[in-house]
Amino acid sequence: MGVAALGFVLLAIIGAVGYRGFIEGDATNHYLIARFAVDRPANFVNVWGRPLTTLLYALPAQVGRGSDDIRAGVLATRGLSIGLALLVAWVTYRLARGQGLRSPGMAVVFVFAQPIFYVHAFSEMTEIPFAVVLALAFWAFASGRWLWMSLLVGLLPLGRPEGFGFILMGAAALVWYRRWYWLPVLMIPFLAWNDAGWAITHSETSDANVPWYLWVKANWPYSASSAYGNGALWDLPMRVPLVVGTIVFPLTCVGTYLALRRRWGSRAGVAVGNDVEIGKNVFIENDDDFPAPVGHAFEGSTDSFGFGA
């Protein structure tokens, strides 16, 4: 595991330093929004910038503000992103070890083996911050820390639009495991974002007459007719092999099948969730009748290699 982490860090540093541009236009926007958030507090609640990403990247983006060269701030931001990518891998390792896998370090290898994960590890995009919160939410779920799980899941919409889907999954988990009294906590981060956005920006924008409770909706930048376009629902699963990696994906499919077949005779509850950019997560009940998430179907993947418990 240590060798994999070291190799990943070295390759990520090479990418961060060697690639002098931004991986796409959104990365430029996120960096600039974070860099000037100190001067313009409205950037911290900007819907396009995403509060989670802006809050994390605002400090490193200030590096080199005294000069006209933004390179120092870009490298500092990418350095933080690499650190967050390592945090995702470490939490995934903890989850795999909690599953009782014989070789939990293989989970880290599968995280690092995802091509898109590597590219985003040295970028200014929203995917890695989102993945950190998502991984921590899974860990809280597996540990039975329902309050923390609710708060972390509630933060996900502040990182990416997919977060709303995970709120539904979190609510379903709370109801299923009779922890329904934590349901209101899921909405606290979103409501705080909505209220802060209205308080900071309503007097200086053309949306001054928008009710406070509709601020996020009124400032939502996406639509079916936007530059991003739209497609059929099955376009997303068709892209999973590219997201996960063409080498890892077949092993994931085989291993997931073997893991489910092995547990089919026990009380196995399976729910599949998908983070569009990072990977997928499979929930499988463990022997103690407590739900434990297996990030990116790592248990199934390690089974296919013969490393299962």
Euclidean distance between CA atoms 254 and 13, whole angstroms: 33
Is residue 167 within 8 Å of 133, Cβ to Cβ? no
Euclidean distance between CA atoms 173 and 271, whole angstroms: 10
Provide the pLDDT for residue 63. 93
- The parts of the chain modelled with pLDDT lower than 70 are 203-208, 223-230, 265-309
Provide the pLDDT for residue 283. 33
Is residue 153 within 8 Å of 86, Cβ to Cβ? no
44 part of a folded domain: yes
This prediction has a pTM of 0.80
145 part of a folded domain: yes
182 part of a folded domain: yes
Which amino acid is it at 69? Answer: D
Provide the pLDDT for residue 203. 62
Cα distances (Å, whole numbers) of residue 66 to 30, 36, 43, 143, 225: 20, 13, 20, 45, 40
Is residue 123 within 8 Å of 23, Cβ to Cβ? yes
176 part of a folded domain: yes
Beta bridge partners of 274: 280
Provide the pLDDT for residue 99. 82
In this structure, the dihedral spanned by the alpha carbons of residues 169, 174, 180 and 182, taken in order and rounded to 10 degrees, is: -90
For residue 244, what are the domain limits? Answer: 2-199+232-305
222 part of a folded domain: no
Domain total for the chain?
A: 1
DSSP type of residue 267: -
75 part of a folded domain: yes
Provide the pLDDT for residue 181. 95
204 part of a folded domain: no
Which amino acid is it at 207? Answer: D
122 part of a folded domain: yes
Is residue 277 within 8 Å of 127, Cβ to Cβ? yes
Angle at 53 between CA 47 and CA 55, to 5 degrees: 95
With tokens 């860090």, the residue in question is 9
pLDDT digits over 169-226, tens only? 999 999 999 999 999 999 999 999 999 999 888 766 555 677 888 899 888 877 666 6
Euclidean distance between CA atoms 84 and 104, whole angstroms: 20
